[in-house]
Chain A
Amino acid sequence: MADDLFNSFMNGPDEQGRFGIFGGRFVSETLMPLILRLEDEYNKAKDDPEFWAEMNDLWTHYVGRPSPLYHAERLSEELGGAKIYMKRDELNHTGAHKVNNVLGQILLARRMGKTRIIAETGAGQHGVATATVCAKFGLKCIVYMGAHDVKRQAPNVFRMRLLGAEVIAVQSGRGTLKDAMNDALRDWVTNVHDTFYCIGTAAGPHPYPAMVRDFQSIIGKEVRTQLAEQEGEGRLPDTVIAAIGGGSNAIGLFHPFLDDKSVRIIGVEAGGKGVDDRIEHCASLTGGRPGVLHGNRTYLLQDGDGQIMDGYSISAGLDYPGIGPEHSWLHEIGRAEYVSITDKEALDAFQVSCRTEGIIPALEPSHALAHVMKIAPDLPKDHIIVMNMCGRGDKDVFTVAKHLGFDMSDTEEGRSFEE
């Protein structure tokens, strides 16, 4: 742990909701009182053992936590270097890490007496998780999803509707995740009395980045315990790796290890077609610069005039021009490293995971896995890497099929595949 409290990396954010210069509360006055009340209620819940008892009960019996920490033996052998573990958050109910956070926020909404839940979603995973938990608690659920994403993620749209949610196709802007977030904020500002905004990533105005991180930190805490059980008391990972869109699964894995100086921390951004001037990527840290959007200061993809650019990635879940403010801070102080992986590298890793481990990963953690595949061969066999397998790939098989030239719509193979 830290040499002393003053040198801890785990104390953020400060009272203004800042991690260094990042974070803050850049929202309109209408929302400001709501955000202050949320902060107040969250602080109370955080210190309330009953709140955590309810969370733990649901995590165990509804989500299926703890998720396994799995030694990927064949993958490790094939790469011929480091010992690779996968944190299996893709086995959670709803198929991704998103539900960890949604449960926390919905319990908070219930404590606050809110009856109407709104959420934004890109690939649809956060939308599905929110619709799921709202169904469980009988809450009205409205999910904002960019019109472009509604088209390319039709199965998740149907799932949300089955679960009783209303899915609103956002026509504003270019119809992607950032536009969905704009419209969710517009909804919130209009329906201030009964509505709780359940944000899906560790971004937005304070207290969201800290709150979402705290709910997702269950990932890293479990890894710490599980690795000690499997590798011996006190054994820490040498490297932890996770994919980053907004960065909630990553901060959940990283945060419990921030003060363990021996642990190397690597975040993997979506490099799309390559990180260069054309902005056909979503690598906010490696290809952007600080700005203010959606309630926080953080690294953003923007043009010379401060207008926000649309990112691009094969993975709809990483397709966001910003990143959680705590990552921006960890990047600037150098506690974590951030790299990028292209679409092609992620697609290769996707197939390697299927073939060597029998695990069909989502395209998001395929980015993390691709970086594992880059560094593992040169590391010694006693070097332990833990990567976060934060979502499963069912939602992505159509996209991957298309990129691999496999037509699932017309052929006999396609029909049998779908059956």
Chain B
Amino acid sequence: MTRIDAKFAALSAAGKKAFVAYVMAGDPDFETSLEVVKGLPGADVDVIELGLPFTDPMADGPTIQLAGQRALEAGMTLERTLELARRFREEDNTTPIVLMGYYNPIYNRGVDTFLEDAKAAGIDGLIVVDLPPEEDAELCIPAQKAGLNFIRLATPTTDDARLPRVLQNTSGFVYYVSVTGITGSAEAQAGDVGPEVARIKASTDLPVIVGFGINTPEKAENIASVADGAVVGSAIVSQIAAGKPVAEVLEFVKTLSDGAHRA
């Protein structure tokens, strides 16, 4: 059982929805980013999604593209991203960390070495945007063997015929992408999302968390009410981009998590 599994079991027992927060590792620099990540559990974040910077994030909108560029310019690497997770784990051994990014930096390091290092750094799960089920042999299956969750994205284009394949090797939770588009783009509508979440839940016992297009406490509440939880990324990253002090960023995160937890 990973920290992710334990967290969702606890939330379920308490009848609570999950709030998942995304931040880019190393944005705008290592120390500030570490301070933000360390503050997330105190802002009632249930799961941390830690962005792994990449030069060519083809599924991300401008907000997260720029965050990745800031991090890379400040010297962020895969190694430093794992170091950030290690530093966080010195103080917190329960909040799950999901590393989210693209395959090339991982492939470049070598899958086996990466998995060993990620596990040792206290990473619990992976979301790798450019690895669909067709490429499961690359990382998904080795990751599960190494004891990490591999969290798959399901999308509005994932039809019923394809859904079983998407769910097959997924663990931890299912991340439902609420819109066809990139991060930080169109707005998610609870009315559209509800039936889709129900469709996925009919085929799996895993929690279904919804992300993309959620940027206010009200939307976090609305979306979480029709799913097992909500993810916010770009809206938080925008606060960091605007140069807000860490305390203010965390206050904003708290309003979002309160929204999701009201559901």
A179 contact set on B, CB distance < 8 A = 56
CB distance from B59 to the nearest CB of A (A): 5
Within 8 Å CB of A189, what residues of B? 58-59, 180-182
Residues of A participating in the B interface, judged by any CB pair closer than 8 Å: 16, 24-34, 172-173, 178-179, 182, 185-186, 189-192, 291-295, 297, 300, 302, 304-308
In the complex the two chains form, is B104's CB within 8 Å of A292's CB? Answer: yes
Residue of B105, B130, B162 with most chain A CB atoms under a 10 A cut-off: B130
How far is the CB of A186 from the nearest CB of chain B, in Å?
5
* CB of B135 to closest CB in A, whole Å: 6
CB within 8 Å of A: which of B43-95? Answer: 53-62, 65, 69, 72, 77-79
- Closest beta carbon of chain A to B66's beta carbon, Å: 9
Contact (Cβ within 8 A) B182 A190: yes
Q: How long is the Cα–Cα vector from A186 to B183 in the complex, in angstroms?
A: 10
Known: A26-B130, A190-B180, A292-B107. 18 other contacts (CB 8 A): A16-B134, A25-B132, A29-B132, A29-B166, A30-B59, A30-B156, A33-B157, A33-B158, A33-B162, A186-B58, A190-B182, A190-B186, A300-B104, A302-B108, A305-B105, A306-B54, A307-B54, A307-B55
Closest partner residue, chain A, to B131 (CB atom) = A26
Contacts of A294 in B (CB 8 A): 56, 58
Contact status A28-B109, CB under 8 Å: no
Q: Which residue of A lies closest to B103 (CB)?
A: A292
Chain A hits for B107, CB < 8 A? 291-292, 297, 306
Q: How far is the CB of A36 from chain B (nearest CB, A)?
A: 8
Whether A291 touches B108, Cβ cut-off 8 Å, given contacts A28-B153, A192-B157, is: yes
Closest to A190 in B: B181
Q: Chain A residues near B254 (CB, 8 Å)?
A: none
- By beta carbon, the residue of chain B nearest A178 is B56
11 A/B residue pairs, CB under 8 Å, sorted by A: A29-B132, A29-B152, A30-B155, A31-B157, A173-B55, A292-B107, A297-B107, A305-B77, A305-B78, A306-B104, A307-B53
Total count of chain B residues near the partner, CB < 8 A: 47
In the assembled complex, the CB of A298 is this many whole angstroms from the nearest CB of chain B, namely: 11
Decide: B177 and A29 in contact? CB cutoff 8 A.
yes
> Is the Cβ of A306 less than 8 Å from the Cβ of B108?
yes
B residues sitting closer than 8 Å to A (CB atoms) are 53-62, 65, 69, 72, 77-79, 102-109, 129-135, 152-159, 162, 166, 177, 180-182, 185-186
Assess whether A308 is in contact with B153, with CB atoms less than 8 Å apart.
Answer: no
Closest Cβ of chain A: how far from B132's Cβ, in Å?
Answer: 4
Chain A residues whose C-beta falls within 8 Å of the C-beta of B104 in the assembled complex: 291-293, 300, 302, 306-308
Contact, CB under 8 Å: A172 / B62:
yes
Q: Report yes or no: B130 in contact with A292, Cβ–Cβ below 8 A.
A: yes
Of A172, A178, A191, A192, the most chain B CB neighbours within 10 A belong to A172
In the complex, the answer to whether A29 meets B155 with C-beta atoms within 8 Å is yes
Q: Give Cα A293 to B56, complex, Å.
A: 8
Q: Which residue of A lies closest to B177 (CB)?
A: A30
A178 partner residues in chain B, CB cutoff 8 A:
56
B125 to chain A, nearest CB (A): 16
Asked whether B152 lies within 8 Å of A26 as measured between CB atoms, the reply is no
A291 / chain B contacts, CB cutoff of 8 Å: 104, 107-108
Task: Give CA–CA (A49, B153) in the complex, Å.
Answer: 39
If over half of B's interface residues share one DSSP class (helix, strand or loop), that class is named, otherwise mixed; here it is loop
Q: Output the least CB separation between B183 and chain A (Å).
A: 10
A185 neighbours in B (Cβ, 8 Å): 58-59
- Kindly identify which residue among A26, A29, A182, A186 contacts B158, using a CB–CB cutoff of 8 Å: A29
Contact among B79, B156, B182 with A186 in the assembled complex (CB-CB below 8 Å):
B182
Cα–Cα distance between A293 and B129 once the two chains are bound (Å): 12
In the assembled complex, which residues on chain B have CB atoms less than 8 Å from the CB atom of A31?
157
- B106 contacts A28, C-beta separation under 8 Å: no
> How far apart are the CA atoms of A304 and B58 in the complex, in Å?
21
Whether B180 contacts A192 by the Cβ 8 Å rule is: yes
Expressed in whole angstroms, the Cα–Cα distance for A353 and B122 within the complex equals: 61
Docked CA distance A295–B72 (Å): 22
Residue in A closest to B185 when the chains form the complex, CB atoms: A190
Indicate whether A172 sits within 8 Å of B65 (C-beta atoms), given known contacts A29-B158, A189-B182, A292-B130: yes
Give the residue name and chain of the A residue nearest to B130 (CB): A26
* Chain B proximity of A71: nearest CB distance (Å): 44
Q: Are B62 and A24 in contact, with the CB atoms below 8 A?
A: no
Chain A residues, Cβ within 8 Å of B177: 29-30
Minimal beta-carbon separation of B127 from chain A (angstroms):
11
**Known contacts A25-B132, A30-B180, A294-B58; is A306 also within 8 Å of B105 by CB?**
yes
A352 to chain B, nearest CB (A): 38
Q: Write the nearest CB–CB distance from B246 to chain A, whole angstroms.
A: 26
Least CB separation from B109: chain A residue: A306
Most buried by A among B56, B103, B154: B56
Q: How far is the CA of A191 from the CA of B179 in the complex (A)?
A: 11
Residues of A within 8 A of B158 (CB): 29, 33
Contact B58 A306 (CB under 8 A): no
Q: Tell me the bound Cα distance from A31 to B61 in angstroms.
A: 16
Q: What 9 pairs across the A-B complex have the smallest Cβ distances?
A: A306-B108, A306-B105, A190-B181, A30-B155, A305-B77, A32-B132, A26-B130, A185-B58, A308-B55
